[in-house]
Amino acid sequence: MIRFLALAVIVGLSACAELGVVGDGTTVSWGPPNEGLLIDGVRLPPAGEGFVVHPRWLARGTQWGTDELVDTIGHVGRAVSAAHPGSRVAVGDLSIAGGGRSPHHRSHQTGRDVDLVLFARDAAGHPVDSTEMRHFGDHGRTVDAGPPLRFDAARTWTVVRALIEAPGPGVANIFLYAPLRDLVLDHARDSGAPDAIVDLAGQIMAQPGDSAPHDDHMHVRMFCSAADATCSDYSVRVAPKKARPTAAEAAIAAELARRPRVGSMLHFGPRW
């Protein structure tokens, strides 16, 4: 179905040009996160204040996202840099250019998903620059090969709180291994974070029940922008009884025509 949808989008975008419909340059997240596309996506740079994309993920070409997601990553990076000078959150996969399926994920198709590598400390308690995804066990210690590390709940809480407080449509889900989630929430309470923020974090963070436990990274998913009428916050979980309609030329033209001509409504400040 994605093949037909992608073809329809390509044809539709050509038709939009012929009809004189011009988008404002902002992104369009089309469909649900596990069966959709990304139109006019933004490419996250390899590095910025408080964040970095390491070579293994750069090589995949999966640095494409919506305006909302890319701006949120910039917001998180600035929060990490301010709270933990010298630290940078390592960013994994977003979406491929144009969205759709990739070899690495069932979701990450519409530019609203991103994987963030977990922060860690070495045996002496010193912060580690996380360049790879290490697996952590129930007590926050690594359980795979390699130098022993401990999960860094403090820096991870900075990331989670920044995600929750970022301007824009908001974070729908933070998928994380349940024991690590508990360590983050325990640190948040002990550090005196407001109860309302901690409670909201507890609602948003969860271990997924239909995939890997996410004991080596956080999978973050943004809500749809109100401007993207064709975006769906929810994944497709069962095969529909009737065939889903493909994207039609008129639908894409109407979507772009509805968008403002004065620039993104989300750009709340300089990205980098």
- For 39-93, the pLDDT digits (tens) are 999 999 999 999 999 999 999 999 999 999 999 999 999 999 999 999 999 999 9
Pick the more confident residue, 144 or 13.
Answer: 144
Nearest to 65, CA basis, from 82, 53, 49, 55: 53
Span 178-232, pLDDT tens digits: 999 999 999 999 999 999 999 999 999 999 876 678 999 999 999 999 999 899 9
pLDDT of residue 50: 97
pLDDT of residue 20: 34
Please state the pTM of the whole predicted model: 0.79
If 0-12 CB within 10 Å is exposed, 13-18 middle and 19+ buried, where does residue 223 land?
middle
**List of domains in the chain:** 2-258 (3.30.1380.10)
Pick the more confident residue, 244 or 74.
Answer: 74
Average pLDDT, the chain: 83
Pick the more confident residue, 239 or 154.
Answer: 154
The pLDDT-based confidence of 26 (bands split at 50, 70, 90) is confident
Span 126-182, pLDDT tens digits: 999 988 999 999 999 999 988 999 999 999 999 999 999 999 999 999 999 999 999
The pLDDT-based confidence of 21 (bands split at 50, 70, 90) is very low
Extended strands (E) in the chain: 28-30, 37-39, 42-43, 47-48, 51-52, 64-65, 89-90, 113-117, 120-121, 127-128, 150-151, 171-175, 205-206, 217-222
Q: How far apart are CA 66 and CA 41, in angstroms?
A: 6
Nearest to 255, CA basis, from 15, 6, 2, 70: 15
Q: Could you tell me how far CA 67 lies from the centroid of its own chain?
A: 11
The pLDDT-based confidence of 8 (bands split at 50, 70, 90) is very low
pLDDT of residue 270: 45
- Our CA dihedral for 206, 237, 217, 151, rounded to 10 degrees, sits at 30
